[in-house]
Amino acid sequence: MYMLEGASSGDVTQGRIGNCWFVAASSCLAANKQVWHNVIPDVSEQEWDDNKPENYQGIFHFRFWRYGEWLDVVIDDMLPTVNDELIFIHSQSKNEFWSALLEKAYAKLFGCYEALDGGDLGEALEDFTGGVSDHIDLVKSEVADKPEEKVELFARMQKEIDRSSLMAASIPPSSSDEMEAVTESGLVKGHAYGITAVKNVHLEGSGLFNMFNREKIPMIRLRNPWGKCEWKGAFSDGSPEWEKISKSDREKIGLTFEDDGEFWMTFDDFCKHFVNAAICRVVNTSLFSLSKTYDEGLAHGAWKKPERAGGCLNNKDTFLKNPQFAFDITDDEDEPMFHLLQKTGRTESGSLNQTIGFTIIRVEENRRHRIHDLSLFEVVKSTVFRDSRSIILNHDKPTKSFLNCCAGDPVLVTRVKIIKAEGLERQDRTGADPYCIVSCEGEKVYTPVCKDTTNPSWESAAIFFRKKPVSKPLKIQIWNSNVLRDQYMGKHVFMSTDEMRDSMKAVDLYGRKGESNQVRPGKLYIQITQSRNLTSI
């Protein structure tokens, strides 16, 4: 029998190989029906049918996500045994084999079972989903001692599990002697536990008032891939704390007291005892889905020494030699995710990962070419660099297009940062909704709109590679955003072609073409960097 009465986390029990990371991920997979059917497609067609035995071919089909695409893996139905017992992953039911076959298909992907000995939980979660794994260090974040951060993390994990994200947690050993050592609390070091539920559970109340105002306890359910050896603290199987939970609520959360490796604990205890957690978001990009949540951009690249391998941010002189990729976030409500994935394999001695990481840098609104001077830009976020499996432009400087081949090369690069304005003229009772338009040689860049203010702060930059800097100056206009028609508030024309770096200027605003000598209310604050070396910025 391939599958018996549906898949569940109890179908996945670790065998004789040290792949608890894969086993825990498989346990999470079993709890997510949609993802499970994506990894194991056409289950009913692959299953043995007593009425149609001629349809059984002795092969099974699986799918794993690898580096941006789904790979099909086909295996036969021969499984390794000793004395007629499965020696690797097995189900608690003797005639159910989907988890053992899944493990064999995954081992085939990497060459052999031994290649699965030791690994990272996030790798398997990503290979099952095509999702993005996030690692949380519960100790470094000190979440156990910070109530606000703890509440925020619980809400995040609750939201992610409701979105069908796969999650797990672990306690790494401090030495090889502690590997798979059982602590006094019943938790195992060097082990990956699948997280199968995150819920607020009501305490039993008394009296009419308490029926509607019962206290809630944040709780989490985990599963040991061994299928045994459980948590011994508060709310462990059979502990007296469960008497505080009503029978109906216990039934709602599916509480059972069995030696099956699955257990509940309070979120407080989870944060105190576990060290690492992994969340793998299942990213929905389907155009036909009613619950589409993300658009996806994918880029393949390589670190090639010496011209495109610059090391981490500590290597100031070479860092910007690394591959650079540009992206835009167009909506304040957008939630971006960035995933750097290296293409490596596994051998009998483990993974072949190199130390990697990435940095996100805020650049000008219209940048299309590589960054050459990091001091001019804001580093938004830099990841840790580690040997995990699992970031901004292609040209060093602009080149002439075929249509513009006679127009000449750029001779000056100008970077202007629109910092702020002060004392602008009121346009309505709340002030104004000002924004800037920066234009030069036919290109326009717009800053965001600042709402209800006459003292806006934009902190927005633009860069221009200029062919005719003398005859075509840089213009900065300020407009008031309006539903029917935007209102002109003033402009400044920057004429200088001198080389300069980080030059701060407070400039006056003037009227439009017919009133260019008329001074408008307010001051504009800008920062200018300008050079004839086109690769200096």
Residue in 25, 36, 13 with CA at minimum distance from that of residue 121: 25
Q: And the tokens for 42? A: 């056409």
Single-letter amino acid, residue 25: A
For 83, left (φ over 0), alpha (ψ -120 to 50), or beta?
A: left
Helix (H, G, I), strand (E, B) or coil at 201: strand
Preceding amide of 521 cis, omega within 30: no
Q: How far is CA 515 from CA 440, 472, 509, 522, in A?
A: 21, 20, 11, 16
- Could you tell me how far CA 99 lies from the centroid of its own chain? 28
- Residue labelled with tokens 């297009």: 401
SS3 of 452-509: the string is: CCCCCEEEEEEEEEECCCCCCCEEEEEEECCCCCCEEEEEEEECCCCCEEEEEEEEEE
Residue 287 to residue 294: CA distance in whole angstroms: 10
239: DSSP letter: -
Within 40-117, residue ranges assigned H as helices are: 43-46, 98-110
Q: And the tokens for 534? A: 């086109």
- Residue 301 half-sphere exposure, CB side, CA atoms within 13 Å? 17
- Residue labelled with tokens 């359910």: 221
In angstroms, what is the C-alpha Rg of the chain?
30
- Residue labelled with tokens 């390794």: 80
Q: Which residues are catalytic?
A: 20, 191, 224
Which residues, 6+ apart, have CB-to-CB distance to 212 below 8 Å?
none
- Could you tell me how far CA 454 lies from the centroid of its own chain? 37
Residue 222 to residue 27: CA distance in whole angstroms: 10
Q: And the tokens for 95? A: 């005639």
Residue 95 to residue 431: CA distance in whole angstroms: 74
Q: How far is CA 114 from CA 15, 121, 365, 471, 520, in A?
A: 12, 16, 50, 70, 75
For residue 443, the tally of other CB atoms under 10 A from its CB is 13
- Residue 54 half-sphere exposure, CB side, CA atoms within 13 Å? 0
